[in-house]
């Protein structure tokens, strides 16, 4: 058989020494295992002179058997080597008898990958050579070609050519035919190439012929467009026009989409033309509309964020609308939603009561009257500026609001005392030198009109009292004293001129 003792032991799963002992002592039980693993003639146990191997046993080498099996099944050396994970040169060397011997593990791997019988390859057992699992390249290509031909039958070029000629005769492009038949342009091109059933071709030809018969009539789509243009020329919305025509506004929108006959469109247009044109209304003022939106929102006890939640828009859009960046239709929509605000649209949120919004507005007005910024108020109350902003928007409880208002009143009182002391100091300085009166209040009787002019000039410039004090080189109390009218006319004019220059800059 040409097997070594180690190969026999590996095939039987026994130690090599056991094979040696069997050959020396003639152990019968091991010979029985030989019968199950190798094609040994059973009569050899009774007559040792008989040929121990079966007549069908192949006496060639494993390499020659692999080559014969490969050529018999039409497998190239490259395909066989690629399947086994080796190079073609190594395969040819093995088939020539120069390669290494095959152990049991390698034989099982070859059988799993190629389908070749392991025992036939290793020992020449002629019972079965095994069916190949490798698909030769030429057979795989032929199989793919047959599948492709079965999947794509021969096109119906005759009917496709008829559709193409009818389309060109009607003066239609592929895009127009595709839109008319509710198909894609690529599908129309495929049908004209012959990929079309005879029934579908007849349907398209009938549709083209019927279109040529009705070429002089107005299509429903054109009638709908004419109806919509007549409504727009009359300056009417869909709801207003529907009331005049005596139909629902949804029905009118459906008709304008092209679901209307030319005769019905003429009747509806006649009803529109019978109504006199609308008179011009007053011009829309965006700023007035924005102010009204803010007023109604505060009355309703809503913050900008809460209103934005109701309208499903960003909060910044509400802020811009209140500043005047809003159209007439948007303003009407916002006001309508404010007046009929449904609480069910505000998910997991409680609407702030009106009193909280009023308290926030009162805090803001008091702060601006004193001339404090939000940052300065936050420093006094030891709040961050963001919290002050939220408080002024109405997100504050009554005890906190009263505490802030008391602090502002105390600050205003201390500011007035400081201003009075500063005014007294400036008055004494004015009496001692002529230049001293340039920055001090001199009147025995306050000039409230001059103080009001200075305050308006400061507000127009967008400055706080503290900023004006830094600009003039005096204390904040002096600026407050000036706005109370404790200043002569000449100095008031100078201060107003400086503020106007600062505003222009």
Cβ contacts of residue 149 below 8 Å, gap of 6+? none
The reported pLDDT for the residue numbered 441 is 42
Could you tell me where the beta strands, DSSP code E, fall in 22-76?
A: none
**Over pLDDT 90: what percentage of the chain?**
0
- What's the pLDDT tens digit per position in 434-444? 444 444 444 45
Please state which of the four CATH numbers 3.40.50.300, 1.10.260.40, 3.30.70.2660, 1.10.3260.10 is assigned to the domain occupying 361-504.
Answer: 1.10.260.40
Instruction: Examine domains 157-213 and 286-351 and report if their fold is the same.
Output: yes
40: DSSP letter: B
Q: What CATH topology corresponds to 220-273? A: 434 Repressor (Amino-terminal Domain) (1.10.260)
**Segment 36-46 mean pLDDT:** 49
**Segment 213-225 mean pLDDT:** 71
The reported pLDDT for the residue numbered 431 is 62
Task: Name which residue leads in pLDDT, 342 or 479.
Answer: 479
Show the CA angle centred on residue 100, arms to residues 95 and 101, nearest 5°: 95
- What's the pLDDT tens digit per position in 183-209? 888 888 888 888 888 888 888 888 887
Cβ contacts of residue 390 below 8 Å, gap of 6+? 396
The reported pLDDT for the residue numbered 351 is 41
Given a cut of 70, whether residue 56 has pLDDT beyond it is no
Please state which of the four CATH numbers 3.40.50.10540, 3.40.228.10, 1.10.260.40, 3.20.190.10 is assigned to the domain occupying 5-123.
Answer: 1.10.260.40
**Over pLDDT 70: what percentage of the chain?**
76
Task: Name which residue leads in pLDDT, 260 or 2.
Answer: 260
**Segment 402-416 mean pLDDT:** 85
Reduced to 3 states (helix: H, G, I; strand: E, B; else coil), residue 221 is: helix
Structurally, what CATH architecture does the domain formed by 286-351 represent?
A: Orthogonal Bundle (1.10)
The reported pLDDT for the residue numbered 154 is 53
Most confident of 112-126, 316-330, 436-450, 460-474: 316-330
Residue 173 is encoded by which pair of tokens?
């492009």
**Segment 242-261 mean pLDDT:** 83
The reported pLDDT for the residue numbered 50 is 43
Given a cut of 60, whether residue 216 has pLDDT beyond it is no
How far is Cα 389 from Cα 430, in angstroms, rounded to an integer? 42
The reported pLDDT for the residue numbered 178 is 87
The reported pLDDT for the residue numbered 344 is 40
215 burial (CB, 10 Å; 0-12 / 13-18 / 19+) is exposed
**Domain-by-domain residue ranges, the chain?**
5-123, 157-213, 220-273, 286-351, 361-504
Task: Name which residue leads in pLDDT, 388 or 139.
Answer: 388
**Segment 274-297 mean pLDDT:** 75
Given a cut of 50, whether residue 45 has pLDDT beyond it is no
- What's the pLDDT tens digit per position in 100-133? 677 888 888 888 888 888 888 887 766 677 788 8
Given a cut of 50, whether residue 448 has pLDDT beyond it is yes
**Segment 412-428 mean pLDDT:** 78
Task: Name which residue leads in pLDDT, 208 or 351.
Answer: 208
68-82, 94-108, 229-243, 266-280: the lowest-pLDDT one: 266-280
**DSSP assignments along 354-419, one per residue:** HHHHHHHHHHHHHHHHHT--HHHHHHHHT--HHHHHHHHTT---HHHHHHHHHHHHHHHHHHHHHH
Please, which pLDDT band fits residue 433 given cuts at 50, 70 and 90? very low
Structurally, what CATH architecture does the domain formed by 157-213 represent?
A: Orthogonal Bundle (1.10)
The reported pLDDT for the residue numbered 51 is 47
């Amino acid at each position: 058989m040409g097997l070594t003792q180690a190969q026999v032991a590996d095939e039987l799963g026994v130690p090599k020494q056991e094979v040696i002992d069997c050959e020396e002592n003639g152990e019968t039980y091991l010979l029985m295992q030989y019968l199950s693993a190798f094609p040994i003639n059973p009569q050899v146990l009774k007559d040792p002179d008989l040929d121990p191997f079966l007549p069908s046993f192949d006496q060639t080498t494993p390499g020659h058997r692999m080559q014969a099996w490969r050529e018999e099944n039409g497998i190239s050396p490259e395909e066989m080597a690629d399947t086994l994970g080796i190079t073609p040169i190594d395969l040819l060397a093995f088939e020539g008898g120069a390669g290494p011997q095959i152990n049991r593990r390698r034989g099982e791997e070859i059988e799993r990958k190629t389908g070749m019988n392991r025992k036939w390859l290793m020992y020449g057992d002629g019972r079965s050579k095994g069916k190949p699992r490798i698909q030769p390249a030429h057979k795989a290509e032929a199989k793919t070609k047959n599948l492709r031909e079965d999947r794509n039958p021969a096109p119906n070029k005759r009917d496709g050519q008829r559709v193409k000629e009818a389309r060109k005769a009607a003066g239609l492009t592929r895009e127009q035919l595709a839109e008319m038949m509710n198909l894609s342009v690529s599908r129309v091109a495929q049908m004209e190439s012959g990929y079309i059933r005879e029934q579908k071709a007849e349907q398209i030809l009938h549709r083209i012929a019927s279109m040529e018969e009705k070429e002089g009539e107005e299509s429903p789509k054109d009638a709908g467009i004419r109806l919509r243009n007549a409504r727009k020329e009359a300056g009417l919305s869909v709801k207003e026009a529907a009331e005049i025509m005596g139909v629902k506004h949804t029905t009118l929108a459906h008709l304008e989409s092209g679901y209307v006959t030319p005769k019905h469109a003429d009747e509806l247009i006649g009803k529109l033309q019978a109504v006199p044109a609308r008179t011009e209304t007053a011009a829309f003022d965006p700023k007035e509309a924005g102010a009204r939106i803010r007023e109604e929102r505060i009355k309703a006890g809503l913050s900008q964020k809460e209103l934005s939640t109701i309208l499903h828009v960003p909060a910044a859009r509400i802020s811009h609308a209140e500043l005047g960046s809003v159209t007439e239709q948007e303003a009407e929509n916002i006001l309508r939603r404010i007046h009929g605000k449904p609480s069910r649209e505000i998910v997991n949120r409680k609407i702030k009561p009106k009193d909280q919004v009023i308290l926030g507005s009162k805090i803001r007005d008091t702060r601006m009257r004193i001339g404090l910024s939000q940052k300065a108020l936050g420093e006094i109350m030891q709040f961050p500026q963001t919290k002050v902003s939220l408080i002024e928007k109405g997100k504050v409880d009554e005890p906190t609001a009263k505490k802030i208002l008391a602090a502002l009143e105390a600050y205003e009182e201390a500011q007035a005392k400081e201003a009075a002391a500063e005014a007294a100091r400036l008055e004494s300085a004015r009496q001692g030198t002529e230049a001293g009166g340039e920055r001090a209040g001199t009147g025995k009787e306050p000039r409230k009109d001059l103080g009001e002019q200075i305050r308006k000039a400061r507000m127009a410039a967008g400055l706080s009292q503290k900023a004006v004090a830094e600009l003039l080189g005096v204390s904040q109390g002096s600026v407050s004293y000036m706005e109370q009218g404790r200043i002569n006319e000449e100095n008031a004019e100078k201060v107003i001129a400086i503020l106007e220059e600062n505003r222009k800059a």
